[in-house]
Chain A
């Protein structure tokens, strides 16, 4: 029964995008219904995949394989590991909420939904494919529609250029949506270029004439090569994960994107980057990873703190949330860099937790922006009196963001810092915890500035509560934040065997090195 389940989950959105091509732009309800059906099919498929994954057996399940270019060893292989289920759920929940949050989009909606669905197919593909080249294919599919989505449907930020770089800012029209779209695409594509070089090298040096991740993982790469290739993969994928200092596309992109696209991009796409670093970089190149983790972890700690401080100084609501993503993605990378089961569990859990939390943030910000027509925090105030529901869900996202126990954010941050502490990386854990503290300052400050205090000024006459389909995103995402916070086991029981499986090779390497070193001591004259 589950033999073609993963193809269904990956294929449903792409198929729906194809169907959309044959609809007329006037059939607005049909366009939305088709999109929603695809999102629902994928969501149900993901739930079935999660529940029917046999945790006791662990490993790769529901394997499907179709040859694409057998002469070069390229196969479209889908398989679910322990990480796959939770990440599919994350993607499904967000696209489901995203389609509903885009219900009122007015401009060229047919193309909008088609691009959104293609993008999501790419995301699903990355999470379940077992072929490195197909992984890269899906990765690109997930990255590129963003250019049009931001460039056409985005919103420009009113930047008042100041300071020594004023001229340069004006020349490049910083803050403009097309600037943001191009910056995002080019930076991510430079990352992809680095990844592609590394993929070539992995393929050529393995000599196995196969791109299968399992085959590549069992190949022997010399330590020197691993040390060279790992940073390529780390920075290549890391660009998408917002690794400092290659995170600068993220605030501009997220702030310019339309609501559902921000939800998807901050919620899911940045996770693809971190997922790539772990799944490809660290699993295939254990020695390279072990050599580089001090740097990876240190940079991740910088991410956490720097992102938090940047968020604190932003005046634009969307930029605050965007920088908070940079900060929280630092927590994911920190967890990955620990190379411990706790840290990896925390990293994957943080992907889910942060994804859902930030999607909730962007959904609420979108609602506020649609009504207030401004993103400047300074102009807002007292909105809770007219939109109490929005205020409540925004506050819920804030609480998860600062890691309040009972929300999903707490579980992941706790696991990551535990992992860092256990692995002896005290120097990373301290800035990490400090970052969580700074987060509390800026999210609470933003909430107070927007929703509480004096009632809204006369300028905001058409403010109002969310209506109809607009409730879907907050309810679905808010429920997930609480559910995963109170009952993290439903995900952790899957993530844990996944982390154990992927860490096995690293731990084995460590064991071998230990044996070699003791022998070397034994042979000392």
Chain B
């Protein structure tokens, strides 16, 4: 019974997926099945609310899965990402692939199930299985609009995502094979006491794990697929791809390194700090010359991951909490930015800064939302991105990582430059012949949720800070 209690959230989503599968088979393929998107969004929202009502703690599968505040916090994050993605992608899917709507949502739900298991995985085998459950549907989704978009690069995007994803899984598995071979256990809580955890070969294994995870997160130097995939796949899907799997990847890394290898930070923290610096430098500098805004957000996302890794490398409870805070902030901010970009691109037919020209006059509300997201990405006060950057850098500073902090703060200014350039397109150039973009009700709702989260948490971050710290405490302090 306690197993059910710990695992009911992923099980509930699985049940929704099965219902969706049956409904999809039973309805006629030529009727409009746009409403399936509403069904997915509604079901995920209901499960999200239910996590506040029913307990989710406990252990399952002999301790391979552990439900705790940490797990539940991440699960809520993924569920809300699912809701926003479903609302934001609803019209796009119904329009581009009208005959394959059900499968789209099915793939997304399976991916979400993987994410929901990931933060609670306390065994390396379960962790990898969850990781793949999350990853494989994403390859399908990236290629989803392949035949319907003219001149699109969806196939290229999906192939790049698939090849790097498969390779990184192989690399991760190889690293874990070496690692578990030396430690003799796949259980994360046993790693701390395992004798072989500090041997050179285990170190080599860890290096492979970091590289494999680095691919998934798009950390430099494993970032090449990010801008290409973002440019090729359909934008509402990229909104989801750019945040949720990355948050899940960070949850997995936290489980392995913060939870499992906490006692031996010297074996992994410097490498992660180095990758963090590289990600911030390369991501921010390569974002500068980008003209396609999807690529710009791709590189900026690489840079943002650098900030998360700075906190991860700090190796303490406060920093772990702030990692979660940052991911929450980044999730709503980046999804919102991609969705606004999608709406603007739909009305102008391209994804360059020119597609945003005069947005402030054409659609003042949308432009204001974009401003909130861009300022949040840049880390400007009174939107949540400021607190996110502040907290991770403060956590790192307290842990003595002065160099990454200085690099991070200096490059935030570079980041501000390219975010402001996007903003100046929306606010300072004239609309010309561009029309007022059309927003459906679900898209309004999706962007609205993101705005409320970004501005609300920016003005009143305390509840999320408390939640983040409680989550981190439940992961690291309660043994």
A residues contacting B by CB (< 8 A) are 67-72, 108, 111, 133, 136-137, 140-141, 144, 147-148, 151-152, 178, 181-182, 185-186, 189-190, 193, 196-197, 200-201, 203-204
Contacts and interface: CB of A to CB of B under 8 A. Distances in A.
Contact of B409 (A144, A151, A193, A204): A193
A219 B397 CA distance: 18
Interface stretch (B12-20, B334-342, B420-428): B420-428
A200 B413 contact: no
Interface size class of B (residues with CB under 8 A): 20 to 34
Contacts of B360: 108, 111
Nearest to B394: A200
Given A69-B461, A111-B360, A178-B424, 14 more contacts: A69-B462, A71-B465, A108-B360, A111-B364, A147-B424, A151-B424, A151-B428, A178-B428, A182-B420, A182-B424, A196-B409, A197-B405, A203-B394, A204-B398
A140 to B, nearest CB: 5
B413 A137 contact: no
A185 B417 CA distance: 9
Residue of A68, A136, A141 with most chain B CB atoms under a 10 A cut-off: A68
B125 interface: no
Contacts of B427: 148, 151-152
B462 A144 contact: no
Contacts of B406: 197
B420 A140 contact: no
Contact of B380 (A71, A111, A133, A144): A144
Residue of A69, A140, A181 with most chain B CB atoms under a 10 A cut-off: A69
Given A151-B424, A151-B427, A69 B465 contact: yes
A141 to B, nearest CB: 6
Contacts of B461: 68-69
Contacts of B43: none
Contact of A185 (B397, B410, B420, B428): B420
Contacts of B405: 197, 200
B200 interface: no
Contacts of A197: 405-406, 409
A72 B394 contact: yes
Contacts of A136: 381
Nearest to A133: B390
Given A70-B462, A189-B413, A141 B381 contact: yes
A242 B420 CA distance: 23
A186 B393 contact: no
Contacts of A141: 381-382
Contacts of A69: 387, 461-462, 465
A466 B405 CA distance: 53
A108 B361 contact: yes
A147 B424 CA distance: 9
Nearest to A111: B360
Nearest to A122: B381
15 contacts: A67-B462, A69-B461, A70-B462, A71-B469, A111-B360, A133-B390, A141-B381, A144-B380, A151-B424, A151-B428, A178-B428, A185-B416, A190-B413, A193-B413, A201-B397
Contact of B417 (A111, A137, A178, A182): A182
B466 interface: yes
Nearest to B396: A200
Residue of B382, B460, B466 with most chain A CB atoms under a 10 A cut-off: B382
Contacts of A190: 410, 413
Contact of A186 (B386, B390, B417): B417
Nearest to B429: A178
Residue of B386, B390, B412 with most chain A CB atoms under a 10 A cut-off: B390
A152 B423 CA distance: 11
A71 B466 contact: yes
Contact of A137 (B381, B397, B412): B381
Contact of B413 (A151, A186, A203, A204): A186
A285 B139 CA distance: 56
A71 B465 CA distance: 8
A197 B382 CA distance: 19
Interface in B319-343: none
B294 to A, nearest CB: 23
Nearest to B469: A71
Contacts of A204: 397-398
A189 B393 CA distance: 17
A140 B462 contact: no
Contacts of A133: 390
Contacts of A147: 420, 423-424
B469 to A, nearest CB: 6
Contacts of B460: 68
Closest 8 CB pairs of A and B: A137-B381, A200-B397, A193-B409, A140-B381, A151-B428, A189-B413, A190-B413, A193-B413
